[in-house]
Structure 1
Amino acid sequence: MRILWKTLILLLGISLVPLLLVTGVSHRAMRAMGTDLAEQGRGSLLERTSTALQRMVEDHARVLRLEMDVLALVLQSGAKDIRELARTGELACPPSGDRGAACPAPEAMRPERFVSIESVFAPMQRKYASLVHWQAVLFEDGRYSVFPEHFRVDLGQMRNLPWVRLGLGTREPKWSDPHRDPLTGNVVFTVTRSLYSHEEQFLGVSAVSVSVDTVLKENIHTHMLSPNLVFFMAAPEAEGGPDDGLIKIIAQRSTAGHKDVRWSVPDKPLWLASKDEAGLAALASDLRQDRNGVRLMPFDARLSVWVYARIPEMRSYLFFVIPASDVTREAEAVEAYVRDRVGQQERFSMAVVAVVGLLALAAALAGARTITRRIGNLVSGVRRVAAGDFEARVPVEGRDEIGELSTTFNRMVPALQDSVRIRQGLMVAQEVQQHLLPVRAPVIAGLDVAAASLYSDETGGDYYDFFDVCCRDPNILTVAVGDVSGHGLQAALLMATVRAALRGRLTQSGSMAEALRDVNRLVAVDTRETGQFVTLIYAQVHSATRTIRWIRAGHEPGFLYDPVQDEFVQLRGPGVALGLDGDMVFKEQVATYPEGGILVLGTDGITEAHNAAGEMFGRHRLENVIRTSLHFPAKRMVEIITEAVREFQGGMPQEDDLTLVVIKDVRVA
């Protein structure tokens, strides 16, 4: 196909396809915008409603607590008055024959067992008429009193009432969970406590009851938020029990289409349930840890907002649950409106695309030849650059995309030329650095020596060297292994500086520690502004006496392996890296190596090599490789160790330089 027709098709594609794409993307964006607006609206409405509900439920819990405090004061005041009646003898049993002050037998079921203490109960009942449901007391001798007295019924079984058992043995007011009152059938809270005389003699148990509808009804206006609002009281079951992890509904009240529904207590155990088991478990965890909160999860198969707050000093929580759809109804209406408008816009856009397509066809036919010529200029320029002509340039015609491409091409060629020069320079630097490393290992009687250095970049900061300028004894091998912080060209330059300083200093007299001290001073001057440093281990191996002298300047410890005992010793010692402290004083360490011993010096590029799982090669893997390859020559051991590191990495790129020196004792005893 001729380039003219290709260009024509291209121009049509450039004009029509983007238009279609833009139209499609814009419509999709508008639909997405509608969805986003709806989602944001839903989120905002849910957040505001959740916050409002949480504030309301916490306010109701606090109000309930305040009213409960009032009832506790009523109970305490009544207890004080009853104790005073007991002190003055007004509660003594009436005379009965020769028995003196006697009371009916506890098991008797006679009317005289009722004692009226209206003087105690009536004032509080009048003062808190809208709050107090009833007041009652059960005396130790079997008598009882209740107010208002129209609740006076057969209370022979009063000892078995829950509030009696709850109040036994406690001097402080103790609250019950909501329960159905056996006197009235209403759902009530009951606060109770034990009564004692001034002489600390147990008198009985007193209680005050309040209707749940009374304390919560007037404070609940949440039916305005939703006609489907449900609220209830629930508590988590005890940990370690048969129902551990479950949440029991103690009392419930639902607006469900009504503005006035009384509280009720389930006739049988009712457990809180949701399809979101994980969310329900998290909610149960909140309840066990006394945390108020808000959650979004299903309730009766409908996604709902759950808000809950603990009633202070009670194990019960007050819950508000409202369907999320009731909260987000406005946002969903906005989304439907946006979708309708987007549909209208799509139909209009398709008509516009048809007209623009015809105009684009005419424009494409007119501009095809011009575009073909300009593309030809670019092709010619690319071929010249590919042939190595970095002087190639193309004419810039117009300010359209092809004109910009021509401008970019003309700017790219000099940058490409500079990049080639830099690449060539790095290759030269790599070659120079490789020549700075020893060409071959020294030949020392009784020792088999090999070394290698693998860089992660073209140039690196790892370093090793052998010296014959410091020692005239042919039985002494002097070796240094270093690692410059970082890698690349900057690290390579500092490595070259350290090599030159160390070689120059070792031509002079002095101990190992003195030599390293002087080198450190020079390096510290060069790294003062850059923050770089060099770790180094510097050692002398005496093959005749099998002794090792070394200085460790912040470097990885060396490994000395005894194949007879199958033991590894690390060449440690004090000393910080070169370049950090110009006044650092170094100390020589001395050790004797066993017959057949293997000394391995390296950089952290070996032990800290990572695989795809993020694991490091580590010291133990290195020891195992040394152990399994001890019968090979030193050169082969270096190859085996580096191969083991690469195999461990499993194709992962080399992150750090890797340097290794192996020295084997092969002297015959």
Structure 2
Amino acid sequence: MRLRWKFFFILLAFSLVPMVVLTGINRKHVERLGRAIAAEGRTIMEDVVKNELRQTAEDFSLVMRRSKSALDFSLSMLAIEAERALFAPQAPVVPLPGPPDTPQAGVARPLLANAGSGRLERLASLAPTMALLRSELGDIVHAAAVTLEDGTAITFPNRPDLPADYDPRQRPWYRAAKAAVDPQNPAAPGVIWNDAAVDAATGQLTLTLSRPLLAPHGRFIGVASLDVPVDRILQGQEIASQWSQAMRAFLVAPQYDPHTGRASLAVWARQTNGEHARDWKSAVNFERLTSPDTAALTALVATMERDRSGVAELAYNGEPSFWAFSRLLQGASLLIIVPKAMLAPLAEQTSQEILAATDRIVALSGAAMAVVLFAVVLAAFCSTKAFVRPLLNMIEAWKRLGSGDFNVRLTDRAGDERQSLIDAFNETVPVLADHVRLQRSLELAQEVQRNLLPAAPPAIPGLDVAGASLSCDETGGDYFDYRAVRRGDEICLDTAVGDVTGHGVPSALLMATARALLLATEDSETPAQRVCRANRLLCCDVADSGRFMTLLAMEIRPQQGVARYVRAGHDPALCYDPILDTFTEWPGNGLPLGIEPAYAYAEQGMPFAGVGQVLVLGTDGIWEARDPAGEMYGKARFREVVRRSAGLPAAGIVAAVLAELAAYRGERRQEDDVTLVVVKRV
């Protein structure tokens, strides 16, 4: 028998006592519970309706936002075609149709009397594009137009009913698109959705989409626009719901009375809105949705401004209703209102069904409980203590393992999945012991490697020195050192920064070997002599292993104001002069250590005498660090943080670089060792 069945019966056995007690209690309270559930039915149904209404509003708003995306894309394409028609080297020139008194469907015509004929002929070639937009978008688009700054303007379809004093360049949508153009940025701004305004010809409340047109060098030359009647936003869609007959849908925008500060909702459109013939020169006087419960309405308006969707309970036309909204545009939301009275038949039906179900539960509870009790007794009779003994032994073994006893083993035998647990435990213990021993060894290696690095910088007159190294694993392959050496009567700084290929224990061992070889030299030797000797000996250790080490060894003589150094395949030292605000990469070349034993390393010299100059020596773990998106830190950011912190002591510069690097890396794991040495002239 499988383990899951055995546990099933055991659980039934442990349920016997509480089941017997609860049987009598539950039987008395079932009917009371049924009545309570029925009383709560209306509240539950109200919550269901609220969720349904909010979901309906969100779904409908999503459909309308997709229509908005299609309009944005269409207007962008129209603007691109207009710019191409105006400025393409071989832009097609389409002859204008006949005089305006013989309009033709699907042909663009000039709106302004002072329109330039040359540009107008080029814009006339947009007639097929505008006709295609109208055919694809349907009657949701009232008109498409292109208006140029010099007065040239065309529209599709023809609009002979526009007033004689109508100048599109004075309309808010034109001015908003023109104001959005940044002379410093040649890229055209995106599509702008302007507030609802009255159409000059039809008197309809209209939303105008506008997008600026730019010359090839980014100069503003005009605006492409689409006019969308506000009422079409609602009338062009179907709200699918089982309560659709009782629903009222509006497009509203929060509004506050400037005198009283009282909140209300301005109705931009409703499903049955057929109101037209407004004055296009005057401000729009929107219909308002109000409620006697001003506090609840104020809270709803605040929620609309804060959240994308929600539901509230307010009176509409004197009848308690649910108000569900979902944000559609920046300043407008879709609002659906449903009277609460529609819930009465549904709530009554729910209550009757709950009471009938309660009666059936009471009738069947006796027989069902008898069957369950019989099954529980049978399971208890079949259960034995032997079933749980292996589990108890496993628990005891885990406790011993947790206390550090790696000799513990399980000897139980079982014929089900418990045997797999026993075998897995016995196989895991020795592996875990090996991991613990390895971890302790790595901790010891990490401590040893940490002790190999200098504990504190040397005190050298004229120089401020600091350094740090961070390993990405327990041990690393980066190396740095600095010490004071005497050259005659002068105390000099002997420093080095190295990077072994890879990281981890093998790289740490090679780093320790290279350190010993570099230090096992006479103080009288030059950097080139020390590097040549270390390279020759290191090649004997790493021959045919494919490993090597890059190194930058340097000796700085502060009294002479000069630095002598050797580059063995390492990144160049970087010197920053705060007076000139310049960075200099010190030149030099050479093979990494461990490749060619007879290679002769050349020594370079550079001046380092200016007070305040900062010399930084680092490994590629700094500029090759990556942020969570995978972008490299780079040397440009590295130089910038050195520039910002150049006024700090050397230790402060090191801390600033490491802090900047950690912030840039964020949650991403460090992938390579990081080492930095800073020398500052003081």
Q: What TM-score bracket applies, with the shorter chain setting the length?
A: 0.3 to 0.5
The structure with the largest alpha-carbon Rg is 1
> Normalized against structure 2, the TM-score is what?
0.45
